[in-house]
Structure formats: structure tokens, C-alpha cells
Structure 1
Amino acid sequence: MLVAVTTAPDLLPSDPNELRALLLAERARHAAELSAARSRAEEEIARLRQIIRELQRHRFGRRAERLDPDQLALALEDLEQTLAAKEAEPAGSAASKPAPSPARRTVNRGNLPADLPREEILIDVADKTCRCCGGALHPIGEDVSQRLDLVPARFRVLVTRRPKYACRRCEEGVVQAAAPARIVDAGIPTEALIAHVLVSKYADHLPLYRQAQIYARQGVDLDRSTLADWVGRAAWYLRPLHERLLANLKASGKLFADETTAPVLDPGRGSTKTSQLWAYARDDRPWGGPEPPAVAYVYAPDRKAERPVAHLRGFTGVLQVDGYAGYRKLSEAGAVRLAFCWSHVRRGFYDLQTGGSAPIASEALLRIAKLYAVEAEIRGRDAEARRRERQARTAPLVAELKTWLEKQLAAVSRKSTLAEAIRYALSRWEGLTLFLDDGRVEIDSNSVERCIRPLALTRNYAQPMIMCRSPAELIAGYAGTGVCCA
């Protein structure tokens, strides 16, 4: 029998056996406390190490969960250039003893669309007289080859003349055609030039200072502030189109939503502050819907939940989003149902699996992969056919996955990164399983994330994105002076 431990000398037992039992009990208590503390420390160390691995992967590793084909192409670019240079060498530059030529490699050199304009060049012989008998040569065929050519973009000046007319008899009044409206009053750019600047900046990720350098090589000196003024004025003219597009999207029954950061220069502070660009997209192509794909971006100075609520006021239907808690406020009134993204669920287990040996995370990835295998087969079918297939094939897999996740959550430490990944999925289970009952809903929100990617490229290559007297001036369409975008 164990006795209570005390530190008072006068309360210690005098019997040696009781003292021995007391000492053993004290040692057992200390050993249990030390084991529990060591276990907690090991769990905390494992959690912190996983966080470090995720940060290192985010900072130094590839961002995507699969190899980007564009990155692979960049890696092979130097090799293909070297091979092409070798092929272009003249025969005389090789060694005196020619090496056996290797088998010709198969290369995709592109195709020439039939609708491209063709310009024919005839290369004919100068003398069509036979060298032997002096008779006239007659055509027996020809060799035809096609090469892809490019006419570089070049500036031109449009000169507009408006004659004035007057009457010689009455000499009253002058008649002249009205001048056409311009985006920039008394400015030199045409609408086509302003459109080119906008597309180059926002679609091709060319900041205005680089465009100014390109134009200067063609002899046209345009200051960056001048280009920025054109962009700001064009934004004002595009504002009604943006409002109409957003209203059209809100009339749909299903949308995607996502947001990304936008660094904004804050005049007076000499630094930038982080704002948000929200993307609302529609993509009904996976189930053959009648509406065309579209996306609208809305600027906001912060990431508060009130922003999507204000942006989507009047929208009713399914909104597919990531796990950001700010979207939950949209579903409180019941008009909006939230569908969550399995790709974000998968990402938590993928980070664990890439960080080292993680059998539970690997098993979760295999189970989620089965859900995606079904989606790959039914992509392109109508909504009802997709719903039936999901009910028959995907619903049992999802039910088994939930039971398995709950079992694993009970077996792992609640403070571990693995437990966080499991709780992320289980806490959003209703939204994650909404796609089973609605064939219009996708398994993930990758459609809108693909729309976000161009913004991230612009942010990475042309920071900051916006610099103006008010950060909302450009995005909201304010055509004031002093707007300057990098």
C-alpha cells in the first residue's frame, strides 16, 4: 500500500519498510511526470519540425504539388538550344573524320494554321533556255515550303483631318464634322494602343516601366506616368463593364470564390500595405452547363468577412471556396450553400507526406486519389449523370474515409500537425460532401485558383501592383490625375 508523500520531517514514518515504500512511490511519480513531459516535448518538437519543413518547402521548394510542365520546358530549353545550334553548324566546321549521324530526333515544331495570311515568294531561274540544245524549258513541278514569319509590332500615326466649310453668300457660321470622342482628352493614344498597354500589363505581366523601355527602342519615348494615366482613365471606362459582369455572375446558381494578396503603395509611409483582390468565377464546362466561363475581380483593402458579403449581395446558390472562415457568414441566412475544396484537404496531408515518413498521411492521399479518379471519368457528363455516378461510386468511399479519419484522430496526438489536417477535413465535412448530391458542384475550387494565378504572377514580377492617391482608385475605376501604377 502506498502512503501519501509529505516533506515534513516530523510526519515521515519511522518504519524502514514504509520509508522504502514511500521512496519507491516518489520515484514512480517522478518517472511518470518525466515520461509525460518527454512525450509532450517530443510532440512539440515534431510539430515545430513539420512547420519548419513546410516553411522551407514554401520558401525554397516548388509551389505546386506536381511538376509544372512550363518549368520542365524551361529546364530543357538550354539543351534544345544547344542541339539546334549543333544542327545549324555547316558541314565544314566538323572534324575531318565525320562521325556517324545519330537518328533524327522527333521534335514538335508547331503547326501552321490554315487561316493565317500567306505571302508567296517565287524563286525562279533567270534563264529558261536549255543549256544543251537551246530549246525552251517547260515546268514539270515545284518544291513548296512554308515558314512561320512575324511582323514586329510597330507604331504608326493616325492623322485625322476635319475640313471646315463656310458659305460665300451669307458668310454666317462654319460647318465642321464633330471630333470623335477620345479616352484621353487631347491625348495622343488610340483605343487600340491603350488596350495593348492594358493587356501587356495585366495579361502578359509587363509593368509599365518595362513597356516604356520597349517603346523607347522603337523611337517613341513615353514616360511611365503617362502610361499610368492611360491605364487609370481606361479603368474608368471599363467600370460599367465590370459591374455588368459581376451582376451577371451573381445571377448564376453556382460560383467559385477565392482571394489573394495585393501589395499597395501607401504614399506618405514610404512602404507598402497588404490589400486583397477577390475573384468570383463561373465555370460550368465540366458538366456542360449553358453559361460561358467568366471571372470578375474586386479590390478590397482587407480580408474581413464583410467583403465577400458585400460583393455577393443578392447571390443565391452554391459558392465553392477554400477553408477560409470568413465565407461562413454568407451561409448564415441560408441563401448560400458553401461547398468546400478537397484539394485543400489533400494539401495538408501532402505537406506531411513530403516532409518525411508519414504512413497515415500517405494512406489519406491514396484514399483521396480514388475520389479524383472517379471525377476524371465523369468529367464532361451532364449534372444528373455525375450525381448518379457519385452516389454509386464516390459516396461509399467518402463514408469509409470519414470513419477512417475519426479513428486516426483518436489515435494521434491532438497537438500534432496530422491531427490539425484531420480536423480541418472533419470540421468541414458537410461542405466537402455537398458535391455528392449536386452534379454541378466540383470536387475542388481549382477553377478559381487558376484565375488567381495571373494575379500572383503580376504581384511577383511587378511589385507593388498599385500606387495611387487612394488604393481603390484604379481598381474601382477612378479617372483622376496622379494615378501611377508600377
Structure 2
Amino acid sequence: MAAPASPSSDDPETLKALLAEERAENERLRQIILAMQRHRFGRRAESLPEDQLLLGLEEAEQVEAAGFADEENEPAKQEARRAKRRTNRGALPAHLPRVECLVDIDSTACPCCSGALHRIGESVSERLDVVPAQFRVLVIRRPRYACRACGDAVVQAPAPARLIEGGLPTDALIAQVLVSKYADHLPLYRQAQIFARQGVSLDRSTLADWVGRAAFLLRPVHARLLETLKHSGKLFADETTAPVLDPGRGRTKTGQLWAYARDDRPWGGSDPPGVAYVYAPDRTAGRPIAHLCGFAGVLQVDGYAAYESLAKGGAVRLAYCWSHVRRQFYDLAAASPIATEALSRIAALYRIEADIRGRPAEERRAARQERSRPVVEALEPWLREKLDPLSRKSNLAEAIRYALSRWQG
């Protein structure tokens, strides 16, 4: 039997199909280019870049403050500015120690009649002060005692325990190095430079050894934190890549840093907030299964398929994240009215959440049923309607499928 003839290149229907496919491919490539341009030249954050805004405000306030040097001869303006500062500043924390300084007159003789002045009151003001960090040497003396009667007994108090046996640092210094490195993002070589300015010569490798030993001793605390979080009714999980040194290859390899967090403060929860980070060399499904062994409850996640393995037993319910759904459309909004409309509909949900944040759980649930549910129920058929005419290869179709495939969660 002869094979059917292939469609002629001048067949109108074939040409229309080829043209539609070509347009879809061109649109997909254009979206890729726009995404790359945004990644290369645009801001990364999807929300207001608060850090950059604060930097701009700092500079503006510094320029403004520099201009007030001309007010020294204008008491009215100075008093108005002091009143504004008092309004914005508020009270200094009560737990801070107070060091009183008496500023008194030179003579208690009346400047008019030379009679004796008597005290009728006082003015009290508070200023925030700081004692710059300084190093000191903790000298530990342990006297030894011997018995003159027998000559054999020698008694001495045991040496205090140290985090690093035979090492120089106290527990407080090691804690300072850890907080500076991990909370304040101050690399060890910069800390070594700070020490050197006060004449303390410490090599970066020495500081690295302290950090490694402290991390080993903190392992039980980390394990206890993760175990406590797993007893929560709901958790948030996410992972991100982390470059890891790969000795011998002259480059880094890609590891994964998993975060498991709980924070119910914005919703009036009583459980204390916490987050535990777990490193893994890969991103396989077995990692979160091992990390969350024993957890039962709601797990809020992104669209990574590895989390679905946790839900197979029924003990874990997955709750997907609107932020990740929104991100799919955010990347396309510059060139797609459909993506812009999707962002607008999702923004309505965010506004409702902003209104009810901090209210009791039942009140929030009632508000969501009344206000959020209609928005969500209208969004699903709208997405399906917009998906039908789109090419399956387009990024917009992929974004819509991402949302619809996780709709129940």
C-alpha cells in the first residue's frame, strides 16, 4: 500500500497551522529574551525593593541633616526640629543601664543680690550612648595547696570547661564571631581585620577552626530545634541552591540548603517562631522525606514534585503557595495582558489577607469564605478559558498549567 501523500506546502490550512506554530514559537522566544533581560538588567525582587528604598532615604536624610548647620542662629527653627525628633524617637528602652551625669552651676550665689539660691526643680534629658567594643584578657588563677603535715596532698580547683580545649577564646568571643558571621554577614577575614586594629593578631584560619568546632557542639541544639518544629501542626518548607567548595577540581559544586520554618505571629498563633536549615548535596525526593520524618500536618511548599512523596501516606497535607503561582505571571506581565489580569486578580487575595492579618483564626476563616472564595472560584474558569486558545509551548500556557495542576492544594 502506498504511503499517503504529504500535505502540499501551498495548502492553505497547512500554511495557517505552520504560521500559528511559528508565531507561538516566536512568542515563546520573545518571552525568554524578556525574562533574561529582566534577570540581567531589572530588579530581582517581585515586591517593593525595601533595602534600596531605605538606602535612598538614608542619603536624603543625611543631606537634609547637613543643611541644618545654618540654623544655629535661629532658635525657633531649632526648637521645632527638636520637637519633631522627640515625636519620632519615642522613649529609650527601659532595660538599658542608666549612667547619670550632673551638670550643675558653678556658684549657688544669686547673680542679682548674691543671696543663696535654693533648688526648685531640674531638667532631665536622655541620650543614647555606646561603649565601643574592646578586647580584654581573662586571667584565670588556680591556686595549688599542699599539706605540710603529710607532704603528699596537693589540692587545686579543676579548670573551668572550655569550648575549645587549650584554646584562647572564651565562650563569649566565639559567640561574637558566630553572630557576626551568620547574623551580620561579616566574613571571617574582615573580623580578623577588626581584631588587628586593636593589636590582636588572629589568622582567618584560626577563626574558621573556632566556627567549625562551635558548629559541631551546636548540633544537638539544631537537632532539638528541628524535632520541635516537626511537632507543629503546619510548617513551611523551601530549598535553595548553595555553592559548595569542591577541593581538587578548582571550582564549586551545587548543594541544596533546605529550610523548615514556623511563624504564626502574624496570625495570632501562640507557638514561638523558628526555622531549621538542613544542608544536602542534592535535591532528590528522599531529602525532605528524611528531614521531616515523623511530621504530620499541613506543609506549605512550592511546586517541586519531591514534596508530593510526603503526602502519599496521608499524614502530610500539601498547601501550595500563591507567591509561586504569582511569580509565573509576574515574569510575563510586561508583554502579556492575560498575565497582567492574573496578577490583578491574585492581588485582590493579597489585599484581603492584609485586612484580616492578626485576627483570630475563625474570624479569618469566615472572611476568606465570604471575600476570598468568590475571587478564587472565578479565577479557575477564567484561567481555563484563557488556556484553550494558547499554544501548549508558550510560557503563558505553562504558567496557567502550573496554577491549575495544583488548584486543590
In structure 1, what is the equivalent of residue 346 of structure 2? 368
Distance 2:403 2:171 in 1: 50
Which one of 241, 249, 253 corresponds to residue 229 of structure 2? 249
* Structure 1: runs of 5+ lacking an equivalent: 8-24, 93-97, 432-486
Corresponding residue of 1:304: 284
2:385 — aligned with what?
407
Deviations 1:194-244 (A, max 9, x none): 111111111111111111111111221111111111111111111011111
Shift of 1:337: 1.3
In 1: Cα distance, 2:45 partner to 2:325 partner: 15
- Please report how far the alpha carbon of residue 155 of structure 1 lies from its aligned counterpart in structure 2 after TM superposition: 0.9
CA-CA distance at 1:140 after TM superposition: 4.1
Identity of aligned residues (%): 66
Corresponding residue of 1:60 = 41
Q: Find 1:221's aligned residue among 201, 204, 227.
A: 201
What amino acid does structure 2 have at the position aligned with 1:416? S
> Residue 297 of structure 1: SS of its match in structure 2?
strand
- Quote the residue 2:20 is aligned against: 39
1:137-148 → structure 2 map (5 Å cutoff): 137-148=117-128
AA at the equivalent of 1:413: S
Q: Hey, what does 1:161 align to over in structure 2?
A: 141
CA drift of 1:303 comes to 1.2
Instruction: Map 1:121-136; keep pairs closer than 5 Å.
Output: 121-136=101-116
Matches within 5 A, 1:174-213: 174-213=154-193
Cα-Cα RMSD: 2.6
The residue aligned with 2:262 is: 282
Say which SS state the counterpart of residue 263 (structure 1) adopts.
strand
C-alpha offsets along residues 444-475 of structure 1, whole Å, 9 cap, x if unaligned?
Answer: xxxxxxxxxxxxxxxxxxxxxxxxxxxxxxxx
**Cα distance, 1:134 vs structure 2:** 2.8
Q: The residue matched to 2:331 in structure 1 has which SS? A: helix
**What is the deviation of 1:26?**
6.8
Query: Higher relative contact order at CA 8 Å, sep ≥6: structure 1 or structure 2?
Result: 1
Equivalent residue number for residue 69 of structure 2: 88
Query: Please, what TM-score do these two structures have when normalized by structure 1?
Result: 0.77
| Counterpart amino acid of residue 77 in structure 1 | E
Q: What aligned pairs does 1:375-390 form with structure 2 within 5 A after superposition?
A: 375-390=353-368
CA–CA distance in structure 2, aligned partners of residues 198 and 139 of structure 1: 52
Matched, 1:428 2:406: yes
**CA distance 1:374–1:196, change in 2 (3 Å):** same
Instruction: Give the distance between the partners of 1:326 and 1:237, measured in 2 at CA.
Output: 31
Is 1:272 paired with 2:270? no
> For residues 172 and 65 of structure 1, do their structure 2 counterparts lie closer, same or farther at Cα, with a shift above 3 Å needed?
same
Following TM superposition, by how much is the alpha carbon of 1:270 offset from its aligned partner in structure 2, in angstroms? 1.5
Q: Which residue of 2 aligns with 1:397?
A: 375
Q: Distance in 2 between matches of 1:137 and 1:103?
A: 28
Residues 251, 6 of structure 1: alpha-carbon distance in 2 compared, 3 angstrom cutoff: closer
Selected match of 2:130 from 150, 161, 183: 150
Q: Deviations over 1:14-45 (max 9, x none)?
A: xxxxxxxxxxx97851x544443333222222
For residue 16 of structure 1, what is the aligned residue in structure 2?
none
Aligned-pair CA distance for 1:425:
0.1
Q: C-alpha displacement at 1:277, in angstroms?
A: 0.9
- 1:80 positional shift: 1.6
Distance 1:115 1:324, change over 3 A: same
Question: Separation in 2 of the partners of 1:404 and 1:334?
Answer: 31
CA distance in 2, matches of 1:27, 1:70: 57
Shift of 1:71: 1.6
Query: Which amino acid counterpart does residue 255 of structure 1 have in structure 2?
Result: L
Stretches of structure 2 that go unaligned for 5 or more consecutive residues are none
Query: Per the alignment, do residues 167 and 79 of structure 1 end up closer, same or farther by CA in structure 2, a change over 3 Å counting?
Result: same
Q: Would the aligned equivalents of 2:71 and 2:78 in 1 still touch at CA under 8 Å?
A: no
Write the letter of the residue equivalent to 2:316. Answer: V
Cα displacement (A) at 1:332: 1.9
Q: 2:71, 2:77 within 8 Å by CA — same for their partners in 1?
A: no
Matching residue within 297, 300, 304 for 1:324: 304
- Inter-partner Cα distance in structure 1 for 2:47 and 2:120: 56
Q: Distance in 2 between matches of 1:173 and 1:240?
A: 40
Residues 238-263 of structure 1: CA deviation (Å, up to 9, x unaligned): 10111111111112221110011111
Q: Which amino acid aligns with 1:388?
A: A
1:477 is matched with none
Give the partner amino acid of 1:54: A
Write the distance in 1 (CA, Å) between the matches of 2:268 and 2:55: 35
Q: Greater CA deviation, 367-376 or 307-316?
A: 367-376
Residues 347/27 of structure 1: CA separation in 2 closer, same or farther (3 Å cut): closer
Q: CA deviation at 1:110?
A: 6.1
Tell me the distance in 1 between the aligned counterparts of 2:31 and 2:277.
35
Report the AA paired with residue 363 of structure 2. A
AA matched with 2:17: A
- 1:292 Cα offset (Å): 1.3
TM-score (norm 2): 0.90
Aligned partners of 2:247 and 2:109: how far apart in 1? 79
> What is the distance in 1 between the residues matched to 2:10 and 2:209?
78
Aligned equivalents of 2:229, 2:99: Cα separation in 1: 44
Does the CA-based 8 Å contact 2:225-2:276 persist in structure 1? yes
Aligned to 1:430, what secondary structure does the other structure show?
coil
Work out the CA distance in 2 between the residues paired with 1:78 and 1:226: 38
